[in-house]
Chains A and B, each alone.
Chain A
Amino acid sequence: MSQPGIPASGGASTGLQAQNGAASASGSPYTNGPVQNALMSSQVSVSQGYNSQLPGSYPHLIPAKTLNPVSGQSNSGGSQTVSPLSNYQGPGQALYGPPVASHPVTPSLHSGPSPQMPLPTSQTPAATPMPSGSFLPGASVPSPSNWQYNYLSQTNHCPRVSSQSTMTGNTNLMSPQYVSSGDSSLQNNIIKSGSALPLANPPLPTTFQPGAPLGPPPTGGPPPVRALTPQKLTPRTVPQPSFNSTSNQEGITSNTNNGSMVVHNSYDEIEGGGFLATSQPTNKNPTMSRSVGYSYPSLPPGYQNTTPSTTGTGIPPSSLNYPSGPQAFTQTPLGANHLTASMSGLSLHPEGLRVINLLQERNMLPSTPLQPPVPNLHEDIQKLNCNPELFRCTLTSIPQTQALLNKAKLPLGLLLHPFKDLVQLPVVTSSTIVRCRSCRTYINPFVSFLDQRRWKCNLCYRVNDVPEEFMYNPLTRVYGEPHRRPEVQNATIEFMAPSEYMLRPPQPPVYLFVFDVSHNAVETGYLNSVCQSLLDNLDLLPGNTRTKIGFITFDSTIHFYSLQEGLSQPQMLIVSDIEDVFIPMPENLLVNLNESKELVQDLLKTLPQMFTKTLETQSALGPALQAAFKLMSPTGGRMSVFQTQLPTLGVGALKPREEPNQRSSAKEIHLTPSTDFYKKLALDCSGQQVAVDLFLLSGQYSDLASLGCISRYSAGSVYYYPSYHHQHNPVQVQKLQKELQRYLTRKIGFEAVMRIRCTKGLSIHTFHGNFFVRSTDLLSLPNVNPDAGYAVQMSVEESLTDTQLVSFQSALLYTSSKGERRIRVHTLCLPVVSTLNEVFLGADVQAISGLLANMAVDRSVTASLSDARDALVNAVIDSLSAYRSSALSNQQPGLMVPFSLRLFPLFVLALLKQGAISINDRTIPQPPILQLSVEKLSRDGAFLMDAGSVLMLWVGRNCGQNFLSQVLGVENYALIPQTMTDLPELDTPESARTIAFISWLREQRPFYPILYVIRDESPMKANFLQNMVEDRTESALSYYEFLLHIQQQVNK
């Protein structure tokens, strides 16, 4: 593994070089150098992504962003995003055998995941597997290692010392890839430039050369790749599927976002590529669908000749590779005229108009994951629109007036994941960020350019001047094309914020861990796994050379650990005065991770043993939190609190509110906090940019309703592991480890604020999520992570009759773990409609259910659980009766629903049967592919149920012997253990396929679902049956009964 180091450091140094080079070249801002560098680093992620993917999915991958000519071009040359694996690996493999060889082959097995586990079906490569709307299945399945090593690659680009250190951190799996990433990218980069350009525009190659000195030396041999180029390019013509499933690709994005380049004065277009593209070639996805042709041929031919140096224009529009390109590109600012014109082209989906009688049509659930509805916009606009995974509205057609909205009885709101990992994200570094002068909206694809010099804000309709600097497009190197700038071509974009956006210098990443070490905590044995996880992931913590780390433990006293560089071992300081907590020697408690790494590791190794003999049963959580807050308040950062019992000492002590013996009888459930200490502390934390994440590992009542406030208002998150025990509950241990790994290594943004703006006439009504609302449209988020989601209720304040489109813009200003201040902007554009029918037509049932779930959660806290449940049922009844009374012309018997809402009753019923609606659950309910009814089960098969936080594999009594032996590894049915939570890794294709599918499912979500194998006598069977939401249970209605109930109410 010494070999890897070299290229890696090479990569890092080139990064530096590029930066320096760019700095020196600042006189002539838009040189090739930095851009190339950008590509290089983007390349890294991509090539890695590919390595582990199955080639089959490639044809659908399309370079993410081709709108951006320079990068697009150079990408297109190499077209790294498109190129089948083999192309890529050609050079890479030849040069660095080991890395490629080490790539896991398994992922290819995932390609045909299918929901049913019975073997026969799972063999069919049906590309239509699983429930959630949040991921598209057929797509290549990221192997577990993906984001890890991408993470490495991130550090790789970042010209920082830490990049080297990462080498030590992880295992053999990664380091080779490190190599390949470090180098193949460089390689390809050069290769691309060489190969693409000749194709396009013969005189061009020279233009790339100037950049080359800044970039890596051209070591690769262009010829082989050049030969492949045609192949690579052809896939681009395939209509681009979505990049719906951006979610888990942490690595890639962290790459694109944080790690990657500070290319200055230029645009980096970071192309992650269609890493996750789906196997469905539907042109669903807005963001990616503006794929190829759109961008390159943009310029009139004359321009191409005059600016031969612009790589972007190099490809002649007539190129065979871009058949659809030229005409698509009209080079329009989306002016008003254009919009009107485009509106006329609207057509309604024929199936959308269908009215469905739910009582008659039983199997409404599609066998494929539900796709979000596409707003009824002209395709030119739609393809610029924001990805529904990031930003989604419950009604894709906005009603014109509040009256119309009230009539429809559907909730209007937004669901957004502003910091979600992205496959590709354009980053703009520019000294002026163009914003509307009155409403401060960032310029976005949906503004209209009145002429070359003026643009009209799409939110407040103010006419603004285009600044001089914005007239120049660094990508095409053309002056006078403001509408071609990346800001105007991308609904999701990231700006490097200049110093006006900082109240103080960007904070370093600060991580503080607060451990409960009372007797109860030691008993659960959680310290071992947590410390081990921390040790493993210490090098992967997002950060830079300034990263700080600290530890506090507490029982009835508070223990601090001095980790100052130079000490031979960590020094423990005990503060027993919990009434008035003070910080002993504040400067050495939070230490630089790099400088004191050995001490930190030392501490983590000894910590689990230090308290094994403790007899202290009290827990002074409140004072410990105060101390931690004091310690962190100068900088801000992330506080991770591990708590195992009810706090009993000092401020914030809680009393058990639920007596165990009364619990069954007492109907009252305490969902409101019993003390506001935690809430107030959370607000203090929020003010000092500290976020508190609570890990509650508890076998006993610990009043999560009160404790949870500490995370809720400081924008943290709560992880709950009921009855955690290292021996008795190994499943929870595994879950904790997996989730900790994700938690520790995922990206993080510090001292963030998010503002949501919307077109004049709309206003924000209520926010749902973990944050502090600082003003009516501003959320204070001390930390933000890719898994965080927020819901917003909207209302229509003024009539929107004179407008046809409305836009929503969320802007997240944050400090990356590299200490850069950045702004991530998402803009969503939706049409306005005037009739009720259209409103129903555009309803997004997943988003509606998601928003309703959020509303219900908050309602159950402020009012009561039963109130929330009633509200959910009423939401269905109201909207359906509204539909019946106003939108249906002829009154038919039965329960008529619009096609768009056909799953609404089912989703709501599923929500109701969730048992509890958990506070942190912000996922959109996901329909199972099979309807959840016992009717669908048979004894002859095995069925996998994905219930979000758990997976259950139900094995029928007469399940095929084949499955039992090949997948479960048991001889016969009776030998399946009572509690089986793991599938054995057998050397059979069936086993590999099943395991691959399950691990793929797990990667789709930020938490780690436990797998239970259930047979008829298993204790979990009741749980399994409870999730059969379509069936009748003792206390709840079956789906059909529910429909009848609704029908009764609706027809009243």
Chain B
Amino acid sequence: MAFTFAAFCYMLALLLTAALIFFAIWHLVLPEYLIHAFFCVMFLCAAEWLTLGLNMPLLAYHIWRYMSRPVMSGPGLYDPTTIMNADILAYCQKEGWCKLAFYLLAFFYYLYGMIYVLVSS
């Protein structure tokens, strides 16, 4: 049992996912995207392909979402002029709930993954 880089990645992801859960609720969009992209890179380095694969769809979604943001000259993701429209608001809220669920599941998966790596190595 050794504390490998992979285990470190999982531990980091575990902590950051806890943060992401809150970000998903409060819609801190940019930190959320950055953090998620950050530990995706870490998993890439640690060659945790399965975990990376699980995160790829969300990463791709984030990239797409950011590229197609409405106000292109600013960093913000939401257009202040349309966000209060009921359908857009509903969409963003639904998105938040889905991500929350995903991060919660991911949190336990990372916990499992960390222990698994620790135990197996």
Chain A residues within 8 Å of B, Cβ to Cβ: 675-677, 679-680, 683, 713, 763-767, 772-776, 793, 795
Query: Could you say which residues of chain B place their CB within 8 Å of the CB of A680?
Result: 71, 73-74
Does chain A have a CB within 8 A of B84? yes
User: In the complex, how many angstroms separate the beta carbon of A230 from the nearest chain B beta carbon?
Assistant: 57
Query: Could you say which residues of chain A place their CB within 8 Å of the CB of B84?
Result: 767, 773-776
Q: From B71, B72, B74, B85, give the contact of A773 (CB < 8 A).
A: B85
Does chain A have a CB within 8 A of B89? yes
> Which of B72, B80, B89 has the most chain A CB atoms inside 10 A of its CB?
B80
Contact of A765 with B74 in the complex, beta carbons under 8 Å: no
Chain B residues within 8 Å of A, Cβ to Cβ: 71-74, 80-87, 89
Contact of B80 with A683 in the complex, beta carbons under 8 Å: yes
Per the bound structure, the CA–CA distance linking A366 and B86 in Å amounts to 37
Query: Could you say which residues of chain A place their CB within 8 Å of the CB of B72?
Result: 676
Contact of A763 with B71 in the complex, beta carbons under 8 Å: no
Contact of B81 with A713 in the complex, beta carbons under 8 Å: yes
A/B interface sample: 30 pairs, CB < 8 A = A676-B71, A676-B72, A676-B73, A676-B74, A677-B73, A679-B71, A679-B81, A680-B73, A680-B74, A713-B81, A763-B86, A765-B85, A765-B86, A766-B86, A766-B87, A767-B84, A767-B85, A772-B80, A772-B81, A773-B81, A773-B82, A773-B83, A773-B84, A773-B85, A774-B84, A776-B84, A776-B86, A776-B89, A793-B86, A795-B86
User: In the complex, how many angstroms separate the beta carbon of A251 from the nearest chain B beta carbon?
Assistant: 35
Which B residue sits closest to A772, measured CB to CB? B81
Known: A676-B74, A683-B80, A765-B86; 6 extra A-B contacts, CB below 8 A, are A676-B73, A677-B73, A679-B81, A680-B74, A764-B86, A766-B86
Query: Could you say which residues of chain A place their CB within 8 Å of the CB of B81?
Result: 679, 683, 713, 772-773
Query: Could you say which residues of chain A place their CB within 8 Å of the CB of B82?
Result: 773
Q: Which 4 A-B residue pairs are closest in the complex by CB-CB distance?
A: A773-B84, A765-B86, A766-B85, A676-B71
Per the bound structure, the CA–CA distance linking A793 and B87 in Å amounts to 11
User: In the complex, how many angstroms separate the beta carbon of B87 from the nearest chain A beta carbon?
Assistant: 7
Per the bound structure, the CA–CA distance linking A764 and B74 in Å amounts to 28
Query: Could you say which residues of chain B place their CB within 8 Å of the CB of A766?
Result: 85-87
Per the bound structure, the CA–CA distance linking A679 and B71 in Å amounts to 9
Contact of A765 with B71 in the complex, beta carbons under 8 Å: no
Per the bound structure, the CA–CA distance linking A774 and B73 in Å amounts to 21
Per the bound structure, the CA–CA distance linking A772 and B83 in Å amounts to 10
Per the bound structure, the CA–CA distance linking A764 and B84 in Å amounts to 10
> Which of B74, B82, B84, B87 has the most chain A CB atoms inside 10 A of its CB?
B84
Per the bound structure, the CA–CA distance linking A775 and B72 in Å amounts to 22
Per the bound structure, the CA–CA distance linking A775 and B86 in Å amounts to 11
User: In the complex, how many angstroms separate the beta carbon of B109 from the nearest chain A beta carbon?
Assistant: 36
Per the bound structure, the CA–CA distance linking A775 and B71 in Å amounts to 19
Per the bound structure, the CA–CA distance linking A853 and B42 in Å amounts to 52
Query: Could you say which residues of chain B place their CB within 8 Å of the CB of A773?
Result: 81-85
Which A residue sits closest to B89, measured CB to CB? A776
Query: Could you say which residues of chain A place their CB within 8 Å of the CB of B74?
Result: 676, 680
User: In the complex, how many angstroms separate the beta carbon of A740 from the nearest chain B beta carbon?
Assistant: 28
Per the bound structure, the CA–CA distance linking A677 and B81 in Å amounts to 14
User: In the complex, how many angstroms separate the beta carbon of A882 from the nearest chain B beta carbon?
Assistant: 21
User: In the complex, how many angstroms separate the beta carbon of A765 from the nearest chain B beta carbon?
Assistant: 4
Query: Could you say which residues of chain A place their CB within 8 Å of the CB of B71?
Result: 676, 679-680
Contact of A675 with B85 in the complex, beta carbons under 8 Å: no
User: In the complex, how many angstroms separate the beta carbon of B35 from the nearest chain A beta carbon?
Assistant: 27
Query: Could you say which residues of chain B place their CB within 8 Å of the CB of A679?
Result: 71, 81
User: In the complex, how many angstroms separate the beta carbon of B100 from the nearest chain A beta carbon?
Assistant: 22
User: In the complex, how many angstroms separate the beta carbon of A298 from the nearest chain B beta carbon?
Assistant: 43
Per the bound structure, the CA–CA distance linking A764 and B86 in Å amounts to 7
Which A residue sits closest to B80, measured CB to CB? A683
Per the bound structure, the CA–CA distance linking A763 and B86 in Å amounts to 9
User: In the complex, how many angstroms separate the beta carbon of B110 from the nearest chain A beta carbon?
Assistant: 36
Per the bound structure, the CA–CA distance linking A766 and B83 in Å amounts to 10
Which A residue sits closest to B73, measured CB to CB? A676
Per the bound structure, the CA–CA distance linking A679 and B79 in Å amounts to 10
Contact of B73 with A765 in the complex, beta carbons under 8 Å: no
User: In the complex, how many angstroms separate the beta carbon of A779 from the nearest chain B beta carbon?
Assistant: 9
